[in-house]
Amino acid sequence: MTTTLAWIDYLIMLIYLAFVLGIGFALKKFMKTSEDFFLSGRSIPAWVAGLAFISANLGAQEVIGMAASGAKYGIATSHFYWLGAIPAMVFVGIFMMPFYYGSRAHSVPEYLRLRFDEKTRGLNAITFAAMTVLSSGISMLAMAKLIVVLHIFDAPFASLGLSSEWIFHASIVLSAVIVLGYVYLGGLTSAIYNEVLQFFLIVAGFLPLVLLGLKNVGGWDGLRHSLPTGFTHAWVGMSQASTNPLGVEVFGLAMGLGFVLSFGYWCTDFLVVQRAMAADSMTSARRTPLIAAIPKMFFPFLVIMPGLIAIALPAVQEAAAQPGKAATATSWPSKGLIPAEAEKDPKTGEMVPKYLRQAGSDEPLLDANGQKQYAYDYNLAIPNMLLHYFPTGMLGLGLTALLASFMSGMAGNITAFNTVGTYDIYKAYINRSGTDRHYIWIGQLATLFGTIVSIAAAYAAAQFNNIMDALQLVFGFVNAPLFATFLLGMFWKRTTGHGAFFGLLSGTAAAAIFQSLTLPAGAGPGIKGGWLANLHTFPSEMAQNFWLAIFAWTTCFLVTIAVSLFTKAREDKDLVGLVYSLTEKPREDHLSWYKRPLALGIVVLIMTAALNLIFY
């Protein structure tokens, strides 16, 4: 592969890093109280909080993963935005933010304690804290791997006389030190400010990529003509699992993704909710997710489109990063810019292209023309697009945008971790009566601790892939039912603490049981499911995942109601500001219409519906 990085590319990266750390230093003097450190003193304007709201979620999984998914499944990937994010963002802004912001809680787990009880908070705080450090570790690992594959630091390492084996370790440590540095210095404000900066940088780096790519393939029409029809329609063929690339039917998609998973993430995950809680007023807090929804709905054009363009191009060998061999490999199979994955040939020990196999044997799976089908490394869609279209100079900017996306995802997790770690674990269970200064110090310590654990998680993930998969699976079980608890807690005042706690536990158990009894097509019993028995086979892993979420959510919903009816409810006066029916509605008639959350929410939903119609 020919990476042509020159001094200007490194200069661009250095300038970016200087600004990121500079913001941390500039904010240090404003960190006077723990509210400043953990909640930005509740002083962030709505548009800043809104951009940080989507940027915190714009980590590695988003940019690399969505382009990969675009290359694999086509424009249907945009369901993760238009169906799987926007409606939930509108809901959290209009209906849920009054309770998060109005209750003056510092975190989502703290809201659970105010509304329910200590044990529900503890359960949520501990699983959430573990999950954030794990995701930031995975982000770190993905970034280090990418830096190695793209040979970004090869030239500076060679000129310093260092072995290239150290690049991986240096990348992990470097990313950790930078994120640690600016969060440690400037707390949440620093993370939020950098997220906004990173947001603009990501747009600046990827927008020209999409424009050049589209021009190259002849615009949207040219793209449509060079791809199979299913790839440029989001809804055609969705009525049945067998007729669309996702392998999901419309009910599973709408309920599983559009309702349970999406509302569970955008409405209850403290990582994003924290950004809105830092806003300067109730109206700003409610507008935060709504403002975020507007760029969010156009993100498919920025992150999915490069994946589509990458497979629409004729196979280009020399510019493509190939995971296994050097660029001299003459006949490495590829789909547009996306090369096949590499695997070790057991006989010769050489790296060869990985091909798909028939279930339960080593025989290759052949397509209609009798050709071998390969497993493509879709995660290289964005990196290879950058290398293909950007000359020296712009390449530096594109790679900086990529680094920015990794860092904003990592910092989002670290700030959510230090807040929950300090307020919901340390203050709740270890030391209740510290001074305000003491808690800032603990917050900084938690930042350091979270970063070290993330590094450990990154190395663990590099060593034992299965352990990480298993952990993520378990967290999936914990998260799936969560929205049922919040929905009941906020809108039904009869819900009790015991109901919430046992509802969550049984929802998680239901998810685990569901997983142990079903399998996606083409997989054997194991991490993919079916370890007790196989009662049902889903057409795809995504379908299994969506139905698991539906099942867990319903279980939690029903058990919470049942247990609540048999346990003693709290008195109305204790629930003021925590439950819909007992909370005064925020007054907004003095605002101009476009500043009112409800009006903004309706505009956002109409725009999203229009996008769905255009790309049906």
Partner 1 sequence: MNLDIRTPIGLLFLSLGGLLVIYGFFSDPGIYFRSLNININLWWGLALLVFGGIMTYFGRRKTKLRPSSTP
Kindly state the smallest distance separating residue 216's Cβ from partner 1, in Å.
Answer: 6
| 576: its two tokens | 């003021």
Under rule CB under 8 A, residue 193 binds partner 1: yes
Residue 469 near partner 1 by CB under 8 A: no
Which CB atom, from 11 or from 609, has the smaller least distance to partner 1?
A: 11
Q: 23 or 310: whose CB is closer to partner 1?
A: 23
Q: Is position 41 an interface residue for partner 1 (rule: CB under 8 A)?
A: yes
15 binds partner 1 (CB under 8 A): yes
CB atoms within 10 A of CB 537: 15
CB atoms < 10 A from the CB of 402, how many?
25
- x/- mask, partner 1, residues 482-501, rule CB under 8 A, reads --------------------
Q: Does 25 bind partner 1 (CB under 8 A)?
A: no
| Nearer of residues 7 and 429 to partner 1, judged by Cβ | 7
Judged by CB under 8 A, the residue of 229, 392, 465, 581 near partner 1 is 392
What's the min distance (Å) between Cβ of 407 and partner 1? Answer: 14
State the pairing for strand pair 334-335/338-339: antiparallel
Does residue 182 belong to the site contacting partner 1 (CB under 8 A)? no
Site string (418-437) toward partner 1, x via CB under 8 A = --------------------
Among 135, 139, 189, 545, binds partner 1 (CB under 8 A): 189
Decide: is 580 part of the binding site for partner 1 (CB under 8 A). Answer: no
* Residue found under tokens 């807690």: 489
Taking CB under 8 A as the criterion, the residue among 5, 21, 44, 64 binding partner 1 is: 44
Footprint of partner 1 on residues 371-390 (CB under 8 A)? Answer: 388-390
Distance CA 113, CA 8 (A): 52
Least distance to partner 1 from the beta carbon of 500, Å? 36
**H helix count then E strand count, the chain:** 26, 6
Place of tokens 């329910």: 116
Would you give the DSSP letter of residue 254? I
Pick 371 or 392: Cβ nearer partner 1? 392
Nearer to partner 1 by Cβ, of 262 and 288: the residue is: 288
**Would you say 224 or 388 has its CB closer to partner 1?**
388
Q: Which is nearer to partner 1, 392 or 431 (CB)?
A: 392
Binding-residue total with partner 1 (CB under 8 A): 38
List, in sequence order, the alpha helices (H) in 567-596: none
- Whole-number Cα distances in Å, 213 to 76, 217, 313, 539: 20, 6, 9, 33
Q: Does the protein bind partner 1 through residue 317 (CB under 8 A)?
A: no
Is 238 a residue that touches partner 1 (CB under 8 A)? no
CA distance 272 to 266: 7
Coil, strand or helix at 352: strand
Q: Cα 485 to the chain's mean position, in Å?
A: 22
Closest of 181, 185, 183 to residue 30, by C-alpha: 185
What does DSSP say about strands 351-353 and 342-344: parallel, antiparallel, or unpaired? antiparallel
Task: Single out the segment in contact with partner 1 by CB under 8 A; choices: 109-117, 393-401, 408-416, 584-592.
Answer: 393-401
Place of tokens 């600004």: 19
Distance CA 315, CA 313 (A): 6
Determine which helix (DSSP H) or strand (DSSP E) holds 217, and give its type and residue range.
Answer: helix 166-217
241 vs 387 by CB, closer to partner 1:
387
Ranges within 243-282 binding partner 1 (CB under 8 A): 280
Distance of CA 331 to the CA centre of its chain: 35
Among 21, 48, 83, 402, binds partner 1 (CB under 8 A): 48
- Under a CB-based contact definition with an 8 Å cutoff, are residues 198 and 55 in contact? yes
Q: Per rule CB under 8 A, is residue 43 in the interface with partner 1? A: yes
Stretch that binds partner 1, among 16-24, 102-110, 245-253, 471-479 (CB under 8 A): 16-24
Helix/strand/coil percentages in the chain, nearest 5? 70, 5, 25
Nearest-angstrom CA–CA distance, 110 and 447: 19
Q: Per CB under 8 A, which region of 15-23, 61-69, 486-494, 561-569 contacts partner 1?
A: 15-23
Using DSSP's 3-state secondary structure scheme, residue 333 falls into coil
With respect to partner 1, which residue has the nearer C-beta, 212 or 254? Answer: 212
- Please, what is the minimum distance in Å from the beta carbon of residue 107 to partner 1? 21
Q: How far apart are CA 419 and CA 412, in angstroms?
A: 11
User: x-or-dash pattern for partner 1, window 202-231, by CB under 8 A?
Assistant: --x---x---x--xx---------------
DSSP secondary structure string for all residues of 270-308:
HHHHHHHHTBSSHHHHHHHHHHHHHHHHHHIIIIIHHHH
Q: Is 471 exposed, middle or buried (0-12, 13-18, 19+ CB in 10 A)?
A: middle
23 binds partner 1 (CB under 8 A): yes
The C-alpha R_g of the chain, in whole angstroms, comes to 24
User: How many angstroms separate the CA atoms of 127 and 217, rounded?
Assistant: 46
393 makes contact with partner 1 (CB under 8 A): yes
Task: Quote the least distance from Cβ 212 to partner 1, whole Å.
Answer: 6
Joined together, the tokens standing for residue 129 give 């804290």
> Where on the chain is the footprint of partner 1 (CB under 8 A)?
4, 8, 11-12, 15-16, 19, 22-23, 26-27, 30, 40-41, 43-45, 48, 189, 193, 196-197, 200-201, 204, 208, 212, 215-216, 280, 388-394, 397
